[in-house]
Every structure is written in structure tokens, then in C-alpha cells.
Amino acid sequence: MKVKEKMKKRNFKIQAITELGLVIAILIVLNLILTNYFFRIDLTSEKRYSLSPNTIKLIKKVDDVMYVKVYLEGEFPAGFKRLRQSTKEMLDEFVAYSGGKLEYEFIDPFEGADLKKANDIIRELGDKGLQPTNVQIKKDDESTQKLIVPGAIFYYKGKEYPVNLLKAQFGQSPETVINESIELMEYELANVLRKSVATSAKQVAFIDDNGELDKWDVADASQELKQFYSVTRIPLALQTPESLGKNDALIIAKPTTAFTEYEKFLLDQFVMHGGNILWLLETQIADMDSLNKSPLFMTGSYELNLDDMLFKWGVRIHAGLVQDLQCNAIPILSTMRNGNPQQKLLPWMFFPVAAPPAQNAHIIVKGIDPVFFQFVSGLDTTANKDVKKTVLLYSSPYSRSVPAPVQVDLNLARVQPDPSMFNQGSIPIAVLLEGRFNSLFQYRPGARPNALPYKEFIENGKMIVVSDGDVIRNQRKQSTGEIFPLGYDRYTNQQFGNKRFILNCMDYLCDDSGIIEVRAKEIKLRLLDKGKLKSERTKWQLINMVAPLLLLVVFGGINKWYRNRKYAA
């Protein structure tokens, strides 16, 4: 009996060792086979750890060492720790797909710096395009302010590419700001890659012979676009359909004189042959320079001769101006002190500040900072069923449209407005049009130049219509010629989202890298219920402490019972 029991135990021991050895051998073989393959499994519902195929393509174009310096090291609040961790995880993905060509490090730029050196560092990083921010750090019962620079700089082939990692702070909770920054992180980093590895560029042209903004008014937008596209300025009237068709997209920025029928035919056929247009149009003659001469003026109307074309393609611009209680401020003379005029900033309802929709924002405007408009009109979409209309930006719910002619009175800034009068709700001011566009000259054969080629429709055209030309206009100091960044208001010292809005519009219209689609990624914000956390804290502490012990006792009892039964014989 004892011999049989010993043999049984020996056979069981041999079987266990054999099985263990077989498992180890299988793991070794699998490991040797899989070393030649790279893959990752992302089990999150929103695929937060998966890079898009277009991003991966860009990473694989990196053919030299790319070094990334991230300024997110040090003591941070919980939200910024999450931003730091997400940045690290994203860069780890980039490293994995780059074949080791990408390297990164996290640093604290202010470590060991005194006040003077810290200011110099802020100025230096600011000149490179990185925006500092103040954060509040709570420790025990004390709270302190700390200045950080939530951004990074990519170094590649002797050039620097800065990127800000913190986005969209206008009227949003800190949790939402961090979450949107994490959602847009892949897009922002992929944009840097796109910029650094670009070899050929699509052609974008500003039209400049119908009284449009001059090259200095759009200097910053042009400079930004040149990082991704080949940018030129062309006189429309001197073009032919063939020469105009060499461009991939046109920007028509605040024209002030009427388009001829020939120019309209050129634009019409440009669209019919696959070209895309960013229309930045105004119906009312209104300019702040007019208020320097008189505190009041009446608006006139621009006769652009484009209404029939835009109406056929799905949109109509109001003959009037939007007044909005959510607006930017302007400097107003308030008092005289020691013979010197004193100014103060007052809200100016003719300068709406439009934030992207809180829900279901289109990828063009998702996560961008609010956009600053000046003397903007409302838009209507028409009943053209062949064209899909997507409103990109609205005025705030506290706005109204004033029909032309509009009286622009500087004293309106000094008067407290009656909120009940601003009850027209959100008014569309930027619209994306997509779908089948039919030629304006479809039923007008006599209006077509006979010697020029003609196409009747396009099935998948795209264009964007914005009812304000100044949305692309950068401020500049006349005395020195200094050009300020697009979207920066030197009077209120605020940076708005105009630059990102324009770049996203052009990316959507003509970029074929596909990274604009990355902006659609959403990461669900799963926050703890702070009320329950406080009221049920003791209960969950007990559960977390006692439940594991109970599970161990139950598992141990079951295991002991099973072994006793198995080896009882």
C-alpha cells in the first residue's frame, strides 16, 4: 500500500514537472517568434492608448533622431499629474513605432532658478510659442501658486517645433480642460510630426484683387500655413481655369469690391473641378477706425455680387450685425488725469467671442479656444438637399441680429445692456458645406465664356463660409510695423483661438495626411462622485479592508477541503 502511494506521488510529481517544463518551453518559443513582430492590445472602450493609422504613418517617416523636451516635471495638482502621465504614455507609443529614433525627457525648467532667471526662462519659452500657466497646489491646509509651462519642444534636424499641451480654458472646469487636452494630445503631437517630416506641400492661394486684406493683415496666418502648405497671393481676374486649378484651396479674406461675372465663373469652375474655398466675407462696412473720427457711424453695405452663388450652394449671409453679451472689450476714454487721457476696457457687443459647441462639436472646432469676431453677421442655410450644412460656430445664447443699416455708437460700451433684449439665441456665424455642388452657370449658357472648359457639378465638394473677414486678420502696430500673433488682442492681452480655427479649416479642406480626423477622439471623463466619496468613505474603507481577508479565508477553506478529499485515500 505504501509502495503504491509512493509511486502515485512520484508519478504526480513527474507529471507536474513535465507540465511546468512544457509551459516554459512554449513561452520561450512564443517569445522567440514574437520578437520579430510588434503589436499592442488596447482594451479601453475609447481606444485611448491606440494611435491612429495616419499618426503611425507620420512616425515611420522620421528618419533621424528626434528629441523631445517636455516641461512637465515637478510637484503638480492631480489634474496636471494626469496630463503628465498621458503625455508620457503617448510619447512611449511614439517611441515604440519610431523604431527607437524618438527620445524624450521630462524636465522642470524652473528647478534651482531664482526669480530673475525664472522670468528669463518664461520669456525665452514664450518667444518659442509656449504658454505658461498658474496652478494652485494644496498641501495640508496651505495653498500655494506655482507657474508651470505645460508644453514641449521637438528637436529634429536642427529645427525646433514647440507644442502647447494645455488647451481650451475658456469658462470650463479644470477637469474638462485637462480631459480635452488629453483628447487632443495625439493630434497636437502628430501635427508636429507632420510639420517636421513634410516634403511636398499642397498649394493654397489668397485672392488679392477685390479689395481683400493685404499681405500684412494676414501675415501671421500666412506664416503658419506655410509650415504645411505652399502659400501664394494671386489676382483672380488674371487667372484662367487651368492656372487657378493648380491651387488646391483658395482663401477669400474680406473682399470689399464686387466680383465680375468672369471672376465668378472662375471660382465656380474651380469648385466644380475639386478646388476648395474658405470664404471670409462681410456684408457691412464697419471698422473701428471710423470711431476715431466720430463716436457714431452708420454701416454701409458691401456689394460683392456673390449672393446668388452662395445661395445656390447652401448659405445666405444676413445684411446686418450680431450683437452679443459674450464679447471682447475695447479701450474707452474714461477720465483725464494730470492732463493725460485715461482709458479703461469695456465690453463691446459688436465683438462676439464664440466658443465651440459644448456637445457634438465638429472636429474643426473641437477643443479650440474661443474665436474672436469683429462686426460679424449671421448666417442662414438654404434648402439645398444635396449639400450637408454643419454649423461650426455660433454666437452665444445671449445675442441678437440687428438689421442693416446698423448704428454703431461708442456710447453703447458705457451703457449697461438689457439682457432681455438679447434673446434670439445662438446665431450661426461659420458653416461647413459638403456634398454635391451644381454650377451657378448650369442654366445660363449665355453667361459662360465659350472658349473656356465647363463642368456642370461636383459630387463631393467642400467649402467653409465665415461671415467675418477680420477673423483671419492679425493686429499690427502702425508706428513700428510690429505684427502680433493671429488671435492675440493687444488691448486685452488675451489670446483667442483664431489661428487654430483657420489652420483647422484649411486642414479639413485640403490636408490628405488625415490627422484632422484624430481630433474626433473622445476620452470619457470618469470622475468620482465627491458627495458619495465623503458620505460613504468609512463604508468603502471597511469593504476594502475586510473583503480581501474574507476572500482569502474562503479560498483557503475550499482549497483545504479539496486537498483533504483528493488525498484521503
Across the chain, which has 569 residues, the per-10-residue mean pLDDT values are 59 72 82 62 56 85 90 82 88 87 89 83 85 73 74 90 77 73 84 81 91 94 90 93 93 95 94 95 90 85 94 94 93 72 85 88 88 95 92 94 91 88 92 95 82 86 95 90 89 90 92 70 54 68 80 80 68
Cell matching residue 148: 508651470
pLDDT attached to residue 38: 52
Could you tell me how many residues make up the chain?
569
CA dist 191 and 58 (Å) reads 9
What one-character-per-residue DSSP string does 74-138 give?
A: S---HHHHHHHHHHHHHHHHHHHHHTT-EEEEE--TTTT--HHHHHHHHHHHHHTT---EEEEEE
- DSSP H helices, 347-406, are none
3-state secondary structure of 368: coil
Q: What is the chain's percent helix, strand, coil content, to nearest 5?
A: 35, 25, 40
The verdict on pTM exceeding 0.95 is no
CB count within 10 Å of CB 195 equals: 16
- DSSP H helices, 163-289, are 174-183, 185-197, 219-225, 241-244, 261-272
Q: What amino acid occupies position 388? A: K
CA dist 19 and 13 (Å) reads 10
Beta-strand pair 276-280/457-466: parallel
Asked whether the beta carbons of 308 and 368 are under 8 A apart, the reply is: no
Strand partners, 331: 345
Asked whether the beta carbons of 375 and 286 are under 8 A apart, the reply is: yes
| Phi, psi (deg, nearest 5) at residue 513 | -75, -20
Q: Report CA-CA distances (Å) from 5 to 19, 115, 556, 560.
A: 21, 81, 25, 20
- Cell numbers 524652473: residue: 110
- Among 360, 407, 393, 424, which Cα is nearest to 501's? 393
Axis-axis angle for helices 174-183, 78-98 (nearest 10):
0
pLDDT attached to residue 413: 86
3-state secondary structure of 311: helix
CA dist 225 and 513 (Å) reads 15
* DSSP state at residue 263: H
Cell matching residue 13: 510529481
Asked whether the beta carbons of 519 and 188 are under 8 A apart, the reply is: no
Q: Is 60 exposed, middle or buried (0-12, 13-18, 19+ CB in 10 A)?
A: middle
Cell matching residue 201: 506641400
Residue 426: left if φ>0, alpha if ψ -120 to 50, beta else—which one?
beta
CA dist 145 and 350 (Å) reads 36
Q: Report CA-CA distances (Å) from 377 to 329, 410, 418, 429, 504.
A: 19, 19, 21, 7, 22
CA dist 111 and 535 (Å) reads 40
Task: Tell me how far apart the 2 most distant CA atoms of the chain are, in Å.
Answer: 118
Query: What angle (nearest 5°) sits at the alpha carbon of residue 544, between those of residues 539 and 550?
Result: 110
CA dist 292 and 332 (Å) reads 11
